[in-house]
């Protein structure tokens, strides 16, 4: 599989995670630092990912990959969802978002702390701008009562994946790279890439 993907993101943490997830033969480049990404104001993960992908068009000879992901908390009717990166307000840091979620979930009992991470990936043809495909990945789990661990990013220190006893903030990247929402979305994307003409 000889493909070159341009990741529509300026987030180095995200780039490193994607680079670990893709096998040899799939080249990955990060968007130019001067790329202007519009506000992620769509109501769906797909809409936000599509916005980011379009911001990198054209990209001759490459496929443009963009993602949007979020944490969906059952006790909060699916929030923060598409607003995950802005849960504590515009420009909020990951720590601020985590702290805001801990406060909002303070009185929620253990049996009602179920949640999931969802990732949607969008692929555009860098020459034509045509939508090549879209896939998603989901990992179920539950929320802790406080921040556990310093690994990962975003809400990782609050999320314990199903079948485990510690958060993504503690689990090694080798485990996260097998079971995370982004890992599962990439697995589905690789299936899509295999079907594309060389």
Look over the chain and give the mean of its residue pLDDT values, rounded to a whole number. Answer: 95
Point out the annotated binding site for substrate. 9-14, 69, 153-156, 176, 181-182
Can you say how many angstroms the Cα of residue 125 is from the centroid of all Cα atoms in its chain?
Answer: 20
User: What confidence score (pLDDT) does residue 20 get?
Assistant: 93
Q: Which of 34, 41, 67, 68 is catalytic?
A: 68
Q: Are 105 and 143 in contact (CB under 8 A)?
A: yes
Segment 22-69, tens digit of pLDDT: 998 899 999 999 999 999 999 999 999 999 999 999 999 999 999 999
User: What confidence score (pLDDT) does residue 1 get?
Assistant: 52
Point out the annotated binding site for Mg(2+). 68
Between strands 131-143 and 114-125, the pairing is antiparallel
Known active-site residue 177 = no
- Give the separation between CA 135 and CA 179, rounded to whole angstroms: 16
Segment 112-126, tens digit of pLDDT: 999 999 999 999 999
Within 8 A by CB and 6+ apart from 165, the residues are none
Rounded average pLDDT over 162-168: 97
User: What confidence score (pLDDT) does residue 198 get?
Assistant: 65
User: What confidence score (pLDDT) does residue 152 get?
Assistant: 85
Segment 1-30, tens digit of pLDDT: 568 999 999 988 889 999 999 998 899 999
Domains and CATH numbers, the chain: 3-195 (3.90.950.10)
Q: Are 66 and 9 in contact (CB under 8 A)?
A: yes
Segment 70-84, tens digit of pLDDT: 999 999 999 999 999
């Amino acid at each position: 599989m000889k493909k070159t993907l341009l990741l529509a993101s300026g987030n180095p943490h995200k780039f490193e995670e994607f680079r670990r997830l893709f096998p040899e033969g799939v080249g990955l480049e990060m968007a130019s630092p001067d790329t202007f990404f519009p506000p992620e104001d769509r109501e769906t993960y797909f809409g936000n990912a599509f916005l980011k992908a379009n911001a990198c068009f054209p990209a001759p000879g490459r496929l443009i990959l963009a993602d949007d992901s979020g944490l969906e908390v059952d006790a909060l009717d699916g929030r923060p969802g598409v607003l995950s990166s802005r849960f504590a307000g515009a420009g909020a840091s990951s720590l601020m978002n985590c702290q805001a979620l801990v406060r909002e979930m303070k009185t929620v009992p253990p049996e009602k702390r179920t949640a999931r991470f969802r990732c949607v990936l969008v692929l555009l043809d860098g020459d034509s701008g045509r939508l090549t495909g879209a896939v998603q990945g989901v990992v179920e789990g539950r929320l802790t009562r406080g921040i556990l661990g310093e690994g990962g990013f975003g809400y990782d220190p609050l999320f314990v994946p199903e079948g485990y006893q510690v958060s993504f903030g503690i689990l090694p990247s080798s485990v996260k790279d097998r079971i995370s929402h982004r890992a599962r979305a990439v697995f589905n994307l690789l299936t899509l890439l295999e079907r594309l003409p060389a």
